Homo-oligomer: A and B are copies of this chain.
Amino acid sequence: MSGIKDIVVVGLGLIGGSIAKALQLHTPHRVYGIDSSEDALLDACSCGAIAGKAGPEELAKADLVYLCVYPETALAFMEAHGGGLKENCVVTDTCGVKAALCAGMERLAPQGKYVFVAGHPMAGKEKSGFSASDPSIFMGASYIIAPCGAPEWAVGEVEALALRMGFGKTVRTTPERHDQIIAFTSQVPHVLACAYVLSPRCKEHKGFSAGSYRDVSRVADINDALWARLFLDNREALTAELDELIGNLGGFRDAVAAGREEDLQQLLRRAGQAKRENG
């Protein structure tokens, strides 16, 4: 039986707002919120996503805290408030890059009695802010967890809540492996979408495009401050993955430019096989 009763969500943007709403819908827990925007707090209160604004008292009582803000804001928040959390309060985050954040949390750990479990809900959409929050984005998605040395019961609490919020599964990994794979599955597609729409031909696509254009360009309009930070927090893995992609694209480009039909067919067959094998 879970010991979680009071939860604080720090940052009521797309993800934090969706978490507050999902907890409200699917659990009996009391959820309090913190946000730099009074409007977001008011909206979250008036729609019932949170019971109210969390002050020092609610933080001191919290059994679990979700940090749904930029990595550096999460660290700054913990530096300011970590000492006020009770013993065994479970602190978890939703940041898109893990190694840098986990290292920062490790440095802060001695100042508090809480336990930290890193998390990354693999869900999102192209809009941001509380007004875009929607717990249905979690349905069936994967919730990645990097235990970072936290005790099993704490990791289990974060997993159990993820499943109750509607996630389809939880996956455990290390911060380093998370960052390497996420560079490929999430960061590269975002870079790609942005690099793609910078072509001068983008202005002329209307009437000449269908699903392929839409799919590749979908995430081209993203929060530049957030994503620049996420990219740089994962600099090494992302650079390596972009080099891999640019190299592979160069292979296709050279085969096209030189008219090497056999080579091109072989590249296409290898790609088709990778897609069939890996889904």
Which A residues have a C-beta under 8 Å from some C-beta of B?
A: 122-124, 141-142, 144, 169, 171, 173, 178, 180-186, 188-213, 215-222, 224-225, 227-229, 231-232, 235, 238-239, 241-246, 248-253, 256-257, 259, 261, 264-272, 274-279
Task: Identify A218's interface contact among B215, B257, B278, CB under 8 A.
Answer: B215
Task: Give the distance in Å from the alpha carbon of A208 to the alpha carbon of B170 in the complex.
Answer: 10
Task: Give the distance in Å from the alpha carbon of A215 to the alpha carbon of B219 in the complex.
Answer: 10
Task: Identify A249's interface contact among B211, B222, B246, B259, CB under 8 A.
Answer: B246
A-B contact pairs, 19 of them (CB 8 A): A124-B211, A142-B207, A142-B208, A142-B210, A144-B208, A185-B209, A186-B210, A186-B212, A189-B196, A193-B275, A205-B279, A215-B218, A216-B216, A220-B271, A221-B272, A224-B266, A224-B268, A231-B256, A246-B246
A253 (CB) vs chain B CBs: closest residue: B242
Task: Identify A215's interface contact among B142, B184, B204, B216, CB under 8 A.
Answer: B216
Determine if B242 and A256 form an interchain contact, defined as CB atoms under 8 angstroms apart.
yes
Task: Give the distance in Å from the alpha carbon of A123 to the alpha carbon of B208 in the complex.
Answer: 10
Determine if B210 and A141 form an interchain contact, defined as CB atoms under 8 angstroms apart.
yes
| Chain B residues within 8 Å of A124, by CB | 210-211
A208 (CB) vs chain B CBs: closest residue: B181
Determine if B249 and A242 form an interchain contact, defined as CB atoms under 8 angstroms apart.
yes
- Given the known A-B contacts A188-B196, A249-B192, are A256 and B268 also in contact in the complex, defined by CB atoms under 8 Å? no
- Given the known A-B contacts A212-B190, A261-B228, are A201 and B220 also in contact in the complex, defined by CB atoms under 8 Å? no
| Chain B residues within 8 Å of A186, by CB | 209-210, 212-213
A126 (CB) vs chain B CBs: closest residue: B275
Determine if B208 and A171 form an interchain contact, defined as CB atoms under 8 angstroms apart.
yes
| Chain B residues within 8 Å of A251, by CB | 195
| Chain B residues within 8 Å of A215, by CB | 189, 215-216, 218
| Chain B residues within 8 Å of A217, by CB | 275
Determine if B256 and A222 form an interchain contact, defined as CB atoms under 8 angstroms apart.
no
- Given the known A-B contacts A192-B192, A232-B259, are A210 and B248 also in contact in the complex, defined by CB atoms under 8 Å? no
| Chain B residues within 8 Å of A270, by CB | 198
> Measured between C-beta atoms, what is the minimum distance from A239 to chain B in Å?
4
> Measured between C-beta atoms, what is the minimum distance from A166 to chain B in Å?
14
Determine if B207 and A184 form an interchain contact, defined as CB atoms under 8 angstroms apart.
no
Task: Identify A271's interface contact among B141, B197, B243, CB under 8 A.
Answer: B197
> Measured between C-beta atoms, what is the minimum distance from A148 to chain B in Å?
17
> Measured between C-beta atoms, what is the minimum distance from A134 to chain B in Å?
14
Determine if A185 and B213 form an interchain contact, defined as CB atoms under 8 angstroms apart.
yes
Determine if B212 and A185 form an interchain contact, defined as CB atoms under 8 angstroms apart.
yes
| Chain B residues within 8 Å of A277, by CB | 203
| Chain B residues within 8 Å of A218, by CB | 211-212, 215
